[in-house]
Chains A and B, each alone.
Chain A
Amino acid sequence: MLNARALAATAPLPLAANAQNQVNMSTGVSEAGAVITDLGVEIYDLHMLIFWICVVIGIGVFGVMLYSIYAHRKSKGVEPSQFHEHTGVEIAWTIVPFFILIGMAVPATSTLLEVYDNDDAEMSILVTGYQWKWKYEYLDADGENVAFFSNLATSQEQIYNTDTKGENYLLEVDEPLVIPVDTKVRFLITANDVIHSWWVPEIAVKRDAIPGFINEAWTRVLAEGVYRGQCTELCGAYHGFMPVEVHVVGQDEFDDWMAAKKGAAAADAALAATELSVDELMARGEDVYNASCLACHGANGEGGLGNAIAGSAIAMGGLDSHLNVIVNGVAGTAMQAFGAQLSDVDVAAVTTYQRNAFGNNTGDVVQASDVVSYKEG
């Protein structure tokens, strides 16, 4: 089997992280030769050990078979032997494989114990699987948890073949997870609705996200870079459209990013107290719509998995019922309670957008304060 390191040494161009036609697992080492995670390297090495043992056994077994097919054929005029037992040989090929298995079990056990060594982490991140996106929440000792959703960023046009597909097709998000390099990060993984699974191949972390339960996993990424993964447990129609994107950056860059995120949350709260212009609301609303509504409700509000918004009685009717659907969702359907997922400004913006786009043209303008009053009843 080719490995990324060997190919990188011989190929004229360095292999990209998402290498075309890769035939093997991530080695745990980047194309520049830097170790990404120690555990990833250990898992890759274990995988290759088992693989080569199987290859050797396979060569033995198939070699004997192929020779026999060649030499022991009736057309060669051979007389068939009639032997049909040999206790010694049978015992041998029961005992020897048993010892080979023990040889495999020892490194496998030690690597598995590594996988389960979740303690002494320097930071904890709550990862929640939703239909069909991830939510990341940084658990802060001071209680100022930064939380955001991470939606697929690939456009519907690319998916439905009216636009060329970008390099990171289906593996890109609007808000990536950012973690500092060389830091032990503990992931606490759960789900909002059905079972999902969070996987980043190059850092060798995969854990199921079970609603109502918390799982943990850990990583210490040693090489800065962007690492991409996907949901790996069937979770409904858009299971293939909820990728994971992790940016591993230096500590300073991380601190700046975190500060900016906290600032943005504060800014959003401040924004909620102001009045935005129609254009600002429509522009922001369109962004929110594209990230959170479009996949089910269509690029032109025409519907799909979800109802049509263009010309809909809800989007053109009473504001309270419209807000009710967006904020509280619709029980028994896939329409989630976005009040818990979007800021008040975003709810106001997307409601304004829905009421005025797609030919709806109600002329209604919804401000964050309207959303707040609605929520307060």
Chain B
Amino acid sequence: MRQSQDSTIDTVAKLGAVSVAMFAFVFVVMVPLYNVLCDALGINGKTSSEAYISVSAEVDESRSIKVQFIATNNDGMPWAFSPQVTEMLVHPGAANDTVFFAANPTVNAMVAQAIPSVSPSRAAEYFHKTECFCFEQQPLDGNGEAEMPLQFIVDQDLPADIKTITLSYTLFDVTSLMSDKVASR
């Protein structure tokens, strides 16, 4: 009986540790792993949130890639938000730039965050932004307007079967997050 009691406590301790470890696994492994895999494999359509340092390279004149731009507002975001051009043809390796317009129609100062998403998602790792308004939050005073720049390079290694890349920005209202109030709905 004594031995079975000791081994019971031993079993329980191990299983308890497994439970705690699995709980920690969710936060410490699953979340970072999801983000790492998405970044590394470019599979979530999420582009990098840091400026790409371009290594000057050849421009591949033989390929033309159509890049489409979409600007949408998330729920409750009243800003006018639109791309200067809806699409452009680019060569892999070439530096391109364009502009998005934003206007705050309310009388209050607001802060926005633009979240990019690329389709097809596997093109995301080949879409390099050297400058993007999405890297930072965008504040605008009441009735303010802004022209927000985007500079990008499509990597020469973009798989041959991809001919169209769509870059969508969703604009979120993060004013309340910035004023140190807990965001709750």
Contacts and interface: CB of A to CB of B under 8 A. Distances in A.
Interface of A: 118-121, 124, 126, 128, 139-143, 145, 186, 188, 190, 192-193, 211-216, 327-329, 331-332, 336-337, 339-340, 375-377
A116 B115 CA distance: 24
- With most chain B CB atoms within 10 A of its CB, the pick from A192, A213, A339 is A213
- With most chain B CB atoms within 10 A of its CB, the pick from A140, A145, A212 is A212
Interface residues on B, range: 35 or more
A139 B170 contact: no
B130 interface: no
A336 B75 contact: yes
A35 B134 CA distance: 44
7 pairs of A and B residues whose beta carbons are closest in the complex? A193-B75, A214-B168, A214-B117, A216-B119, A213-B117, A377-B107, A214-B119
Contacts of B42: none
A186 B70 CA distance: 14
B77 interface: yes
23 contacts: A118-B119, A119-B164, A124-B166, A126-B70, A126-B168, A139-B68, A186-B164, A188-B70, A190-B72, A192-B75, A213-B44, A213-B170, A214-B70, A214-B117, A216-B119, A329-B78, A331-B185, A336-B76, A337-B75, A339-B105, A376-B105, A377-B105, A377-B143
Contact of B117 (A119, A140, A212, A340): A212
B contacts with A: majority SS: loop
A108 B87 CA distance: 35
B108 to A, nearest CB: 10
B117 A337 contact: no
B162 interface: yes
B172 interface: yes
Nearest to B170: A212
A11 B164 CA distance: 46
A141 B88 CA distance: 8
A332 B181 CA distance: 14
A122 to B, nearest CB: 11
Contact of A340 (B78, B115, B164): B78
A329 B76 contact: yes
Contacts of B172: 212
A215 B44 CA distance: 10
Contacts of B161: 119
B73 interface: yes
Contacts of B22: none
Nearest to A130: B75
A139 B87 contact: yes
A119 B75 contact: no
B185 A118 contact: no
Given A190-B170, A377-B106, A124 B68 contact: yes
A329 B75 CA distance: 9
Given A193-B74, A337-B78, 8 more contacts: A126-B70, A139-B86, A190-B72, A214-B70, A214-B117, A214-B119, A331-B176, A336-B75
Contacts of A118: 119-120
B74 A192 contact: yes
Contacts of A331: 76, 176, 185
A340 B170 CA distance: 14
